[in-house]
Amino acid sequence: MTTHVDAGDDITTESSTVDNITSATHLAPQPPELQLPARDRHTWMLFTDWCAAHDQSSLPASPELLARFLSAHPTGTVTQRRRISVIDTAHHRYGFPAPGRSDNIRAALDATRRARLDNLAARTGEVISRLPETGWPAALFARRDAMILTLAPTGLTYTQIAALRICDVTADPVTDALHVDTINGVRAVTPPGLVAAEASPARVYRRWMEVLGFSDRYFSTHMLAGLMDTGDGNELTGHDGRIDPADQRPLLTPIDRWGHTPLTATPLTARAVADITAAHLSGQAPRHIRPPVRKSPENNSFTTESAPVEPLGDDYYEHGIAARKHAHDTLGSVTSALDEIEDRADRLLAELLELIEGPL
């Protein structure tokens, strides 16, 4: 028996085959370099070229291969994380497991980051140990800058360090470390490398709190200048106890060339924190010399703003309140006297205008 095939069946079959091929071609996934955003294509091409040079498949890639690629192209942690994200995205779009989610990759990144922070701790610790502890205003800047340098190796960004409040930092005298809990839930701790470099984080924190505590009590830069200029570095001992651990004021504040801090609580900017850190690490930090000598108008002699001033007694505020009450009683009638003078001036002005505008 002979089987007859209609010509129309042949045409239909051929047409279906062509449509299926066209559909399959249309549905085939595009190469990764076309699927990825333009900013990520360079990273993917770098990975594929490296794999081709080592006769390895880039898609899919094993975690071990990714680790070798990262090791062959060392760079900062942020850039490495970006590379991993790009490679993982390409694998995910093709249905392959992401090699960057391996515990080995995460451990390698953490180890790299830890090594970088340990190196930074050693460098900042060395700088802190050389900062001056006496002299005005160098010792004041040294206490604040030491606080910044102590926080730098924690892994916090400059923006996070600038936004820290007093209540965000706690000193642990047992382990000689500072624990940081930011308002955004970020936690950090100072590395032990600071202690190894003879830069005690707890001591740095206490000495900066002494400055803040003294300023809260006396509100006088002149008094602070007198004490720090003639002291041995321990002249503010005990004033850190005046600071409330729950205080929400900024931890780090600006200081002008004369040693003045803002009247209202003002935090340092992230740019300032970055510049201060970079200046100390590069050995180009300013010396913060004594303010220039200025002429006193009273006795035509020369003096400086940092003249020694005795600390105010415990009855300082009582004397101030009594002086203001006396001034209030003495000057209580000034307002009525000024009102009377104003009324007389108005009358004289009216009479003058009448004289000028009246008939000749």
Domain boundary pick from 101, 119, 148? 101
Q: What is the rounded radius of gyration, in angstroms, for the C-alpha atoms of the chain?
A: 36
41 and 147 housed in the same domain? no
**Is 232 inside a domain boundary?**
yes
Q: How far apart are CA 95 and CA 113, in angstroms?
A: 30
CATH number assigned to the domain comprising residue 227: 1.10.443
154 and 55 housed in the same domain? no
Give the model's confidence band at 9: pLDDT under 50 very low, under 70 low, under 90 confident, else very high: very low
Average pLDDT for 160-169? 96
* Token output for 178: 């500072």
178 and 247 housed in the same domain? yes
pLDDT at res. 344: 83
223 and 283 housed in the same domain? yes
Percent pLDDT > 90 in the chain is 39
Q: How far apart are CA 126 and CA 328, in angstroms?
A: 56
Residue 131 DSSP class: S
Give the number of residues written for the chain: 360
What one-letter code names the amino acid at 262? P
What one-letter code names the amino acid at 292? P
pLDDT at res. 146: 97
43 and 157 housed in the same domain? no
Identify the burial level of 160 via C-beta atoms within 10 angstroms of its C-beta, where 0-12 means exposed, 13-18 middle and 19 or more buried. Answer: buried
Give the model's confidence band at 357: pLDDT under 50 very low, under 70 low, under 90 confident, else very high: low
195 and 280 housed in the same domain? yes
Q: How far apart are CA 277 and CA 285, in angstroms?
A: 9
CATH number assigned to the domain comprising residue 58: 1.10.150.130
**Is 346 inside a domain boundary?**
no
* pTM beyond cutoff 0.75: no
**Is 324 inside a domain boundary?**
no
**Is 164 inside a domain boundary?**
yes
Residue-wise pLDDT for 203-241, tens only, equals: 999 999 999 999 988 888 889 999 999 999 999 999 999
Domain boundary pick from 261, 294, 327? 294
Q: How far apart are the first and last CA of the chain?
A: 145
- Mean pLDDT, the chain, integer: 81
Range of the domain at 155: 131-294
Residue-wise pLDDT for 255-297, tens only, equals: 998 899 988 889 999 999 999 999 999 999 998 888 766 655 5
250 and 144 housed in the same domain? yes
**Is 180 inside a domain boundary?**
yes
* Token output for 350: 């009216």
Most confident of 75-89, 128-142, 319-333, 342-356: 128-142
pLDDT at res. 15: 40
77-93 vs 103-130: helix crossing angle, rounded to 10: 170
Residue 50 has pLDDT above 70, yes or no: yes
**Is 16 inside a domain boundary?**
no
pLDDT at res. 115: 84
| CA angle, residues 206, 138, 215, in degrees to nearest 5 | 50
Q: What phi and psi, each to the nearest 5 degrees, are found at residue 296?
A: -85, 125
Ranking 187-196, 289-298, 301-310, 343-352 by mean pLDDT, the lowest is 301-310
Give the model's confidence band at 311: pLDDT under 50 very low, under 70 low, under 90 confident, else very high: low
Residue 12 has pLDDT above 60, yes or no: no
Q: What is the DSSP pairing of strand 187-189 with strand 177-181?
A: antiparallel
189 and 91 housed in the same domain? no
Cα dist. 130→125, 196, 199, 211 in Å? 9, 14, 9, 19
Other Cβ atoms within 10 Å of 138 Cβ, number: 20
Residue-wise pLDDT for 91-112, tens only, equals: 888 888 888 876 667 666 677 7
Domain boundary pick from 256, 277, 294? 294
**Is 334 inside a domain boundary?**
no
Average pLDDT for 318-328? 77
139 and 281 housed in the same domain? yes
Identify the burial level of 128 via C-beta atoms within 10 angstroms of its C-beta, where 0-12 means exposed, 13-18 middle and 19 or more buried. Answer: buried
**Is 286 inside a domain boundary?**
yes
Give the model's confidence band at 193: pLDDT under 50 very low, under 70 low, under 90 confident, else very high: very high
95 and 151 housed in the same domain? no
For the chain, the domain total comes to 2
Residue 11 has pLDDT above 50, yes or no: no
Q: Is-contact 141 255, C-beta < 8 A?
A: yes
Residue 290 DSSP class: P
3-state secondary structure of 179: strand
pLDDT at res. 299: 52
pLDDT at res. 295: 58
Average pLDDT for 64-76? 83
pLDDT at res. 7: 40
Q: How far apart are CA 38 and CA 280, in angstroms?
A: 39
pLDDT at res. 23: 39
